[in-house]
Amino acid sequence: MINFVLLISRQGKVRLTKWYSPYTQKERTKVIRELSGLIITRGPKLCNFVEWRGYKVVYRRYASLYFCMCIDADDNELEVLEIIHHFVEILDRYFGSVCELDLIFNFHKAYYILDEILIAGELQESSKKNVARLIAAQDSLVEAAKEEASSISNIIAQATK
């Protein structure tokens, strides 16, 4: 089971967090500080698995971001590396060569994509095509809601003149 997901920049700034196990806010801050310091300082030739507090942290660096997932000690690290890669491929498809700024300005989309892939720390959907279809459906719902809100505000503006 995945306990939490962190996306950290090379400078140590957190870009996305998703917690599947209960942690207090103080514990979360401490975990982020510890792991970001541990992972960012590791050399590029070292293994992508770190033992930490009885768990394993699996991470992978893509451009300027570290994608980290904390798993139980007996879980398969290679499977989690594949989940990370799967998530990055879907982000790439959606944003067209995803970068850190895409995640900063469209964090809600990144969370939505992550929620389509993982539920309660377990892999939900392994098909990129299905995830893309669900994201497109969500985008069309958002656009329809924006158009409806715009038309309602226009009606109200006309009525108050």
Q: Per residue in 53-108, pLDDT tens?
A: 999 999 999 988 999 999 999 999 999 999 999 999 999 999 988 888 988 999 98
Q: Give the chain's mean pLDDT.
A: 90
| Residue 19: pLDDT band with limits 50, 70, 90 | very high
Residue 155 has pLDDT above 80, yes or no: no
Q: Are 117 and 131 in contact (CB under 8 A)?
A: yes
Q: What is the pLDDT of residue 67?
A: 95
Q: What is the pLDDT of residue 154?
A: 74
The token pair at 21 is 């196990």
Domains in the chain, start-ordered, CATH in brackets?
A: 2-126 (3.30.450.60)
Q: Residue 16 contacts by C-beta under 8 Å, 6 or more apart in sequence?
A: 5, 6, 7, 103, 107, 110, 111, 114
- The pTM for the full model equals 0.85
